Amino acid sequence: MQHRSQPVSARRVGLSSGRIRPGFLLAAGGVLAVLATTVPQSWAATAAPATCLNEAATISGGPGNDTLFGTPGKDVIVGLGGDDRIYGRGGADLICGYRGNDVLSGGGGNDSLEGGNGQNRHWNWGNDHLYGGKGKDTLNGSAGRDTIGPSVDNGKRDRVFGHGGRDTLNVRDGRPNDRVNGGPGWDWCVGDRGEHMINCEAP
């Protein structure tokens, strides 16, 4: 499928790049990912509006495997289908992977990340909020004050690392399958009875 419409505010990049940067339009193999403010009519007519944590997406992937980059400011980035890699860079970003096994990185701002249904990995800097999905997730906090969880009630074996800072780690999902490491700093950890937890000061 080809998308011939070209928004005035978008620029087309080489189809061999495999990456989507803010302000750019990329169409290859039937996959289209653009800033939400520059969505061509041909795409908008077939795709439902993407949201992340109740806010409309400003950068959105397609049904395939995408690499998405945010801007130095606040972004709302949605991966949709495929195994995506999403990098928020600066600003207080909202990042949602949705379907697929995704790698989400918030960058330097105070971000909120949600994995979705696949096996996801989250990496962050700043004071962040991270949420696992229905898959087997790896969630990494930062040296800041992070809030990780609550986990989706799925019983999958999640791995949660608070790293430095005063963190709140909540992996309660109905089954004691998770591994939690609060790391340096004073951490508040909540899980199911029998959960494997270390470096947690409370409760």
Q: Is the pLDDT of residue 77 over 90?
A: yes
The answer to pTM > 0.85 is: no
The pLDDT tens digits of the residues spanning 79-125 come to: 988 899 999 988 999 999 888 889 898 888 889 998 877 777 887 77
Tell me the two tokens of residue 17: 């790049």
Average pLDDT over residues 47-75: 88
Q: Are 71 and 22 in contact (CB under 8 A)?
A: yes
Q: Is the pLDDT of residue 25 over 80?
A: no
Give the confidence band of 172 by pLDDT, cuts at 50, 70, 90.
confident
pLDDT at 101: 87
Q: Is the pLDDT of residue 159 over 90?
A: no
pLDDT at 140: 86
pLDDT at 153: 57
User: What whole-number percentage of the chain has pLDDT above 70?
Assistant: 73
Average pLDDT over residues 172-178: 83
Average pLDDT over residues 142-167: 81
Of the two residues 7 and 58, the one the predictor is more confident about is: 58
Average pLDDT over residues 159-165: 88
pLDDT at 174: 81
Q: How far is CA 30 from the centre of its chain?
A: 23
Q: Is the pLDDT of residue 38 over 80?
A: no
CA neighbor of 26 nearest in space, from 44, 14, 38, 8: 14
pLDDT at 9: 31
